[in-house]
Amino acid sequence: MGKKMISNQNIEVLLPEINLISSEKLRHQCINALLDAFETGGWNWDNIYLCPVSINKVSNRDMNHQIDHVRIVIKIAISMYDLLEENYKQNSDLRDTIIAGALLHDIGKFIEFTLKGDTVSYSDSAKLIRHPLGGAIIASRNGICDEILHIIATHSFEGRESSETLASMIVKAADEIAFKYIKEFE
C-alpha cells in the first residue's frame, strides 16, 4: 500500500488556520507552497507529524512537532496583530500577510529535515541552505509576494541584520515566544 500524499484538503485538516487568509489567491499560493515543500522533502500524510521543530535543540518529543509549532505561531501572531489593531484603532491590512508569513515561516524545515528510515536527520542540502533560505525559495517559486518572502527569510538568526517590517517583527516574535515556551519545559 502506497504512502498517502498530502492534498489540498489534507492541508486544511493539518493547518485549518489557512482558512483565516481572506485572499483566495494568497491562500491557494500558500497551499501550493506547502504541497511543494512536503513533496520535495518526502513528507506525506503518514509521516508529517514526525517533522520536528528542531533536531538537536528540543528533546521533549511531545512538544517537538513542526505542524503544531506553526499553528501556535499563527495564533500568537494573529493575537498580537489583532490586539494592536483593536487598541490603536488602525487597519493596516496586514492580517493576511501576517497569517501567511506565520504559516510559511518554517516551510523550509520540510526540506531541511528528512526521514532516513525511521530517523529524522538533516537533508544533504541543509549544510548549505538552512530553512529560512530554502523556505523563501519554495515560497517564491509558488508566487508568494516579497513581503511574505521577507518574513520567511528573516525570521531566524540569519535575518538579524536585515530590515524589519511590522509583519516580520510580529511573526519573528511569535516564533521566538513559541520556541522559548517549548524550551522552558525541557
Instruction: Tell which CATH architecture fits domain 8-184.
Output: Orthogonal Bundle (1.10)
Q: What is the pLDDT of residue 63?
A: 64
Beta carbons within 8 Å of 104's beta carbon, 6+ residues apart: 30, 33, 34, 135, 139, 144, 148, 151, 152
Domain range annotation of the chain: 8-184
| C-alpha grid cell, residue 119 | 530517523
pTM: 0.92
- Residues 114-167 have pLDDT tens digits of 988 888 889 888 888 888 889 999 999 999 999 999 999 997 767 677 788 999
Check residue 62 and give its pLDDT: 66
Cβ contacts of residue 164 below 8 Å, gap of 6+?
Answer: 154, 172
pLDDT given at position 131: 84
